[in-house]
A and B are shown apart, each in its own frame.
Chain A
């Protein structure tokens, strides 16, 4: 028996929007601690990890760990039927091959039920070790999104280099090159608008902008984004979901050839 009641229904909608571009089918894992998802994109280059802790739900009941395979597009279709202010309840029965989404309008005058078929998905659950990152950049998510979008119009890959001067995003394309440097900036009105760079050692990594642009679909979930870089590890792009958890994207860097042109 599973029953998760989320007052902030729009949050679930946003979560779906931020995942479905990257992953088509995924298993949602429910446990006593929370509602989570881990999935790789089809090319096994990126990984998305979602956690919505049980404390964030108004009502959270999960009798036993359960994994529900869902087609994210179909789920998104159903969630789109929910209003932004609706309260969403996810219900599942043990042994059932369906999941039910219930949408309640804020003033309780409309209640919708959507039952979606589940699917069997072979999940390749990866263990993600805790790691010390060489550099951690926290910046406004909209800024990061803008940078990725802008650069992708010029090149296909971005080199993210963190030095003590700041974080530099550079790309090169047929039409030319682009470099965007963001400096640390803590003197802002709201802490979300700050750009904070924690650097243990300089790091420079190359990534495919296509994936980063998929990650930025999570921008509505959080005002700030944290990019953690280590030379031997995939980058982690994390959007915190207020009071509930996070959505983390992992992206394997591009392994540069000797004469890698993007090196700058």
Chain B
């Protein structure tokens, strides 16, 4: 049975990686097919053995570095860089498959997009549902000190620490998804761009035990306050705060990745079977924004996308063009696209992502991924991340900064350089065209003058085909709903309900004469 299952999963991996161009990480695999994470890694290795030539592999290396032997470090390395990276480790380091993909994405966010969406979906399940994210039953690492509580008490440490200083921030951050942290920061990107980059890449990572988190939180608090309160004040999100303060269920609060205040009843929607695929975009855009921000430090004029709200009811993507320094004016908000059904959406997103694949491998330096993958490897910790407040996440991240000060600095510098180079090559372009159904389709695409592989071009075309159909499908489905409705009204229900008189309905007067 197990072998059969493995074969089946391998087949699925092939479809996902080679046909759908998705990044398949062991974590995603493990949760998606309900296999233990270690087995997921083995499966990936098996797949690599079979399809060595077709896929690019990312390995996760963990061990002690030569130049900094005090810190246990985990980093990702692509297949080509594997040897090189291994040399940086002191003595033996463990090498395991992290993910496979058809090519190494230029945009790092793509690496954990699928995971992220998956985790969000699991998270948005009703709090009663005991899914693999909550109980971490597939994780390879268990920590006796970590007690997993599903109902929102996780963030207690960071909350209490911050209480004295910033009450607003504290209530706000107690239960907000990490995404929320990313987005606000992105609003403040001139100031905290570096933070964003780091936290973007450290999403999903957390210190190994509660203990350390707690310690570092205290130390790193000043940094946080310089960003969060500001941003909280700027945004002026009292609604959000109150709702997050009063809302009981964790799922309620975690459903809101949007920065914009959203009525808490939206949560009901988000638990529906339309999960928030918008996260995919969110996650990626965050990284992009960060890159943008870093590169455009001195520019007062920029184009940014923001305001993805998630819940299915509220799933509207907005496009904001800022021509001034004031970033928070909503006057320029242009509704960009109708929500896309999650599946198609994530698919198209992944296509879009692959479009950004970059051949310049040096940009995809292993260093850059370090923070992200630092603890990614640890399933248990990762699972906990979702239970942590963003505050905690970011403090955890800052604690990483502390522990690995040099490395982080290095990383940041590198990020700045890299993203600058990326940003300089890309342009965001709004394209409007009429699709085959006669609808006006507006898309925002990253236009890259430099195309990577030949596949890049293919992806471009695929994407331009795919996107409209995704929206078109949606429209079609609503259209068919309308049809169905009218069908009901006009067809079967025609006789009485509309007004009584129907063409086919006989009239009593034609049978009986007036006296």
Q: Is A bound to B?
A: yes
Q: Are the C-beta atoms of A253 and B496 separated by less than 8 Å? A: no
How distant is the Cα of A252 from the Cα of B508 in the complex, in angstroms?
5
Q: What is the CB-to-nearest-CB distance from B495 to chain A, in angstroms, rounded to a whole number?
A: 4
Q: B507: which of A42, A174, A209, A252 is its contact (CB, 8 Å)?
A: A252
Stretch at the interface among A67-75, A109-117, A122-130: A122-130
Chain B neighbourhood of A156, CB < 8 A: 492-497
Stretch at the interface among A43-51, A81-89, A162-170, A187-195: A43-51
Q: What is the CB-to-nearest-CB distance from A196 to chain B, in angstroms, rounded to a whole number?
A: 25
Q: Are the C-beta atoms of B508 and A250 separated by less than 8 Å? A: yes
Chain A neighbourhood of B487, CB < 8 A: 174
User: Given contacts A156-B496, A157-B495, A210-B497, is CB(A45)–CB(B507) below 8 Å?
Assistant: yes
The interface of chain A, by Cβ under 8 A from chain B, is: 40-47, 124-129, 155-157, 172-174, 208-211, 233-234, 250-257
How distant is the Cα of A30 from the Cα of B217 in the complex, in angstroms?
91
Q: A41: which of B500, B502, B510, B512 is its contact (CB, 8 Å)?
A: B500
Chain B neighbourhood of A127, CB < 8 A: 512-515
Q: Are the C-beta atoms of B506 and A253 separated by less than 8 Å? A: yes
Q: Are the C-beta atoms of A40 and B508 separated by less than 8 Å? A: yes
Chain A neighbourhood of B499, CB < 8 A: 43
Closest to B487 in A: A174
The interface of chain B, by Cβ under 8 A from chain A, is: 484, 487-488, 491-497, 499-502, 504-515
Chain B neighbourhood of A252, CB < 8 A: 505-508, 510-511
Q: A208: which of B484, B495, B509 is its contact (CB, 8 Å)?
A: B495
Q: What is the CB-to-nearest-CB distance from B491 to chain A, in angstroms, rounded to a whole number?
A: 8
Q: Are the C-beta atoms of B515 and A208 separated by less than 8 Å? A: no
Chain A neighbourhood of B508, CB < 8 A: 40, 44-47, 126, 234, 250-252
Q: B511: which of A173, A209, A234 is its contact (CB, 8 Å)?
A: A234
Closest to A250 in B: B508
Q: Are the C-beta atoms of A42 and B500 separated by less than 8 Å? A: yes
Beyond A124-B509, A210-B497, A256-B504, list 19 extra A-B contacts (CB 8 Å): A40-B508, A44-B508, A45-B505, A45-B506, A47-B512, A124-B514, A126-B512, A127-B513, A156-B495, A156-B497, A157-B492, A172-B492, A174-B487, A208-B495, A208-B496, A252-B505, A252-B511, A254-B502, A254-B504
Q: Are the C-beta atoms of B513 and A126 separated by less than 8 Å? A: yes
Q: Are the C-beta atoms of B512 and A45 separated by less than 8 Å? A: no
Closest to B484 in A: A174
Closest to B510 in A: A252
The 3 closest A-B pairs by CB, nearest first: A43-B500, A210-B496, A252-B506
How distant is the Cα of A254 from the Cα of B503 in the complex, in angstroms?
9
Q: What is the CB-to-nearest-CB distance from B489 to chain A, in angstroms, rounded to a whole number?
A: 10
How distant is the Cα of A257 from the Cα of B492 in the complex, in angstroms?
14
Q: What is the CB-to-nearest-CB distance from B36 to chain A, in angstroms, rounded to a whole number?
A: 44
Contact sample, A vs B, 9 pairs, CB 8 Å cutoff: A44-B501, A126-B509, A127-B512, A128-B512, A173-B492, A210-B496, A210-B497, A250-B508, A253-B506
Residue among B492, B493, B515 with the highest chain A CB neighbour number at 10 A:
B492
User: Given contacts A45-B501, A174-B488, A255-B504, is CB(A210)–CB(B495) below 8 Å?
Assistant: yes
Closest to A127 in B: B515
Q: A254: which of B484, B492, B506 is its contact (CB, 8 Å)?
A: B506
Q: Are the C-beta atoms of A126 and B507 separated by less than 8 Å? A: no
Chain B neighbourhood of A155, CB < 8 A: 492
How distant is the Cα of A233 from the Cα of B495 in the complex, in angstroms?
18
Chain B neighbourhood of A211, CB < 8 A: 496
Q: Are the C-beta atoms of A254 and B515 separated by less than 8 Å? A: no
Q: What is the CB-to-nearest-CB distance from A240 to chain B, in angstroms, rounded to a whole number?
A: 21
How distant is the Cα of A139 from the Cα of B36 in the complex, in angstroms?
65
Closest to B496 in A: A210
Chain A neighbourhood of B504, CB < 8 A: 254-257
Chain A neighbourhood of B502, CB < 8 A: 208, 254
How distant is the Cα of A236 from the Cα of B368 in the complex, in angstroms?
84
How distant is the Cα of A42 from the Cα of B492 in the complex, in angstroms?
21
Q: What is the CB-to-nearest-CB distance from A201 to chain B, in angstroms, rounded to a whole number?
A: 19
Q: What is the CB-to-nearest-CB distance from A261 to chain B, in angstroms, rounded to a whole number?
A: 9
Q: A45: which of B491, B493, B497, B500 is its contact (CB, 8 Å)?
A: B500
Chain A neighbourhood of B510, CB < 8 A: 252
Chain A neighbourhood of B514, CB < 8 A: 124-127
Closest to B499 in A: A43
How distant is the Cα of A255 from the Cα of B484 in the complex, in angstroms?
25
Chain A neighbourhood of B506, CB < 8 A: 45, 234, 252-255
Q: Are the C-beta atoms of B496 and A209 separated by less than 8 Å? A: yes
User: Given contacts A45-B506, A156-B493, A174-B487, is CB(A233)–CB(B511) below 8 Å?
Assistant: yes
Chain A neighbourhood of B494, CB < 8 A: 156
How distant is the Cα of A233 from the Cα of B511 in the complex, in angstroms?
7
Q: What is the CB-to-nearest-CB distance from B497 to chain A, in angstroms, rounded to a whole number?
A: 7
How distant is the Cα of A227 from the Cα of B345 in the complex, in angstroms?
57
Chain A neighbourhood of B495, CB < 8 A: 156-157, 208, 210, 254
Chain B neighbourhood of A255, CB < 8 A: 504-506
Residue among A46, A208, A233, A255 with the highest chain B CB neighbour number at 10 A:
A208
Q: What is the CB-to-nearest-CB distance from B492 to chain A, in angstroms, rounded to a whole number?
A: 5
Closest to B501 in A: A43
How distant is the Cα of A210 from the Cα of B493 in the complex, in angstroms?
10
Q: What is the CB-to-nearest-CB distance from A42 to chain B, in angstroms, rounded to a whole number?
A: 7
Chain A neighbourhood of B511, CB < 8 A: 233-234, 250, 252
How distant is the Cα of A168 from the Cα of B496 in the complex, in angstroms?
21
Q: What is the CB-to-nearest-CB distance from B48 to chain A, in angstroms, rounded to a whole number?
A: 50
Chain B neighbourhood of A42, CB < 8 A: 500
Chain B neighbourhood of A126, CB < 8 A: 508-509, 512-515
